[in-house]
Structures are given as C-alpha cells and as structure tokens.
Amino acid sequence: MSQFQPVIKWSGSKRSQATTIASHTPLFNRYYEPFVGGGSIAYAISPDKGVCGDICKPLINLWRSIQSDYESLYEQYKIRWERLQNEGYLVYYEIRDNFNKNHDSNDLFFLSRTCVNGLIRFNKNGDFNNSLHHTRKGIEPERLKSVLSDWSERLQGIEFFSGDYWETTQDVKSGDFVYLDPPYFNTKGRYFGTIDFERFIDYLDSLNSKGVKYALSFDGMRGDTDYSVELPTKLYKQHLMVPSGNSSFKKVMDKKCEAVYESLYLNY
C-alpha cells in the first residue's frame, strides 16, 4: 500500500504514512476527511461511504473529475503535456496564468504534475506561484491514465465537498470516523489557507462531545528537534509518532539527512 502512485501532488502528502494511519482506523459508519489534500488516506481506506472536503475549490473540482470523469481529465492533461514537450517551458507559465485567472481544475492538475518537486504553493493572494521543474518533463500521459483509473475506482463511495472543515463535517455523529490533516502549526505559508488554532481546538472538543472518533496528523519531530504542539490532554487518548521518511528540505539546504516523524493523535 505504501508504494501506491499519487494522482495529485500536494503539500503534506501522507502517502508514506498511509498504511500506518489506516491500520489505526476504527470501525465506522461514515468516513470524513475535511482537509483532503492529496487524498492518500482516503485512497488507503477506500470507504463505502465518505465525505471529503477542502477550502480549495479547484482541488475539490479536480477530485470530482478524478472520481466521475477521469478519462476527460486524462485527455486534458495529455493536450497540455504534449504542448509543453513540443513548444517549451513558456507553455507552463501560460497555463499557470490561466489557472490564476480562471481556477480551472484541469490546469491545476497539469501544474501539480509538472511544477518543482510537485509542490503546490500559493502566494498571499491565493495565486499558484511555483515554477516549472525543468529537469523533469512530468509524468507521461499513458502512465498517468492507469493511475487515474485506479484512484477513480477507490473513491467511488466518497462525496466531495468544497468548504470549511466545520461545514464538511456538520452532519458527523457517533459511529462516524474523522481523519484530520490540517495545515500544521509550524508550517504556515506552505499550504493553501490557514486555520485558527483556538477555533480548531474547539472543533476537536465538539467531536469528543458528539462521541465521534478522530485521528489527527499534526506537527512532530525532525531530527532532534521537537515541533509537537501541546494539545489539551483531554482531547485525545493516544499520541503516536509516525515515521515520514527524511527531510528533503534539510538535505538540500544543509546537506543533512534528518528523520522526520509526524504526530498522530487518537481520541480512542
């Protein structure tokens, strides 16, 4: 499972942790994931009934396309990818400009597969601002088609919702399970949007009051540095450290290889 191919490159991917996180999933009636991002946990769990959301509307539109019309998405990617190979790097920036004007999910999908390190990055105005990865030409369309088909099949039981995490889970009740992967406390600016920490704490408290089980991925450790956030202990019953590979940032910037662990809080 840990070797499955990502369909969307998105900041904070949980692909390397998906098997571990999924192994801690309790039995549930309905699955909720209000910060769906790259969707690795939804893929790993593949629920019969689920609701996944995000405040980034083009991302949600993209997930809906993967789920219900992946062949069209593949064709649109192929057109853009072939233009990039034949016409050169300026095509990437033309498509990036178009996305920032129109928020077309087809453009976002292409950008996610061809930008530097697959890092989806937005500026303060909400514009996509990462550059083309010049030394990689992006995944070839024919290889991508099988990945799209696989993801589409595993997401059939999910309803995708564009909105705030409170809105996405407004119908949650006892017997349901919520997986949370919000923007991390110590990584502001790397993700689309931010969250108010105190409001989020109130949200966790509300899940507990409803008897809803949740798992929360949050800040952990890098090397010897502990970035964990002190959550109120009444909110959870277990705090695990899940390995997440090595820090690529430290490897590039400081020539160091540091192991990364991310927190996983369980209220059950």
List the CATH number of the domain containing 107. 1.10.1020.10
The pairs formed by 1-6 with CB atoms below 8 angstroms and a separation of 24 or more are 1/44, 4/40, 4/43, 4/44, 4/150, 5/147, 5/150, 6/38, 6/40, 6/118, 6/147
- Residue 82, CB half-sphere, CA atoms under 13 Å: how many? 8
Q: Do 247 and 162 have their domain in common?
A: yes
The CATH number of the domain holding residue 186 is 3.40.50.150
For residues 112 and 223, state if they share a domain: no
pTM: 0.90
Can you say how many angstroms the Cα of residue 129 is from the centroid of all Cα atoms in its chain?
Answer: 18
- Which structure tokens are listed for 69? 């019309």
Burial track 117-136 (b if 16+ CB lie within 10 A, e otherwise): ebebbbeeeeebebebbeee
Note the pLDDT of residue 1: 55
**In this structure, are 80 and 204 located in the same domain?**
no
* Residues 204-218, mean pLDDT to the nearest whole number: 98
Q: Which of 151, 179, 204 is the last residue of a domain?
A: 151
- The number of residues making up the chain comes to 268
Q: Is 115 helix (H, G, I), strand (E, B) or coil?
A: strand
Mean pLDDT of the chain: 92
161 and 53 housed in the same domain: yes
User: End of a domain among 132, 151, 170?
Assistant: 151
Question: Residue 255 is encoded by which pair of tokens?
Answer: 């020539």
3-class secondary structure, 84: helix
Q: What is the mean pLDDT of residues 26-39?
A: 97
pLDDT-based confidence at residue 210 (cuts at 50, 70, 90): very high
* Residue 202 parent element (H or E): helix 197-210
250 and 166, same structural domain? yes
Residue 218's beta-bridge partner residues?
Answer: 263
Q: Does residue 78 form part of some domain?
A: yes
Domain final residue, candidates 151, 181, 203:
151
* 3, 23 Cβ separation under 8 angstroms: no
Same domain for 177 and 146: no
Percentage, residues of the chain above pLDDT 90? 80
> DSSP state, 66?
H
Give the per-residue pLDDT at 38: 94
Are 175 and 261 found together in one domain?
yes
| Alpha carbon 83 to its chain's center | 27
What are 174-186's pLDDT values in tens digits?
Answer: 999 999 999 988 7
pLDDT at 247 over 70: no
Rg (CA), the chain: 18
Q: Is 1 inside any structural domain?
A: no
Listed range (8-17, 217-226, 235-244) with the worst mean pLDDT: 8-17
10-14, 71-75, 209-213, 255-259: range with lowest mean pLDDT = 255-259
Q: Is 200 among the domain residues?
A: yes
Predicted local distance difference test score (pLDDT) of residue 81: 98
188, part of any domain: yes
Domain assignment present for residue 243? The answer is yes
Domain tally, the chain: 2
Domain that holds residue 111: 67-151
Q: What distance in Å separates the CA atoms of residue 12 and residue 10, rounded to the nearest whole number?
A: 6
CA gap 181, 105 in Å, rounded: 22
Same domain, 52 and 171: yes
Angle at 113 between CA 110 and CA 118, to 5 degrees: 130
For residue 212, count CB atoms less than 10 angstroms from its CB and return exposed for 0-12, middle for 13-18, buried for 19 or more. buried
Note the pLDDT of residue 188.
Answer: 57
pLDDT value at residue 252: 46
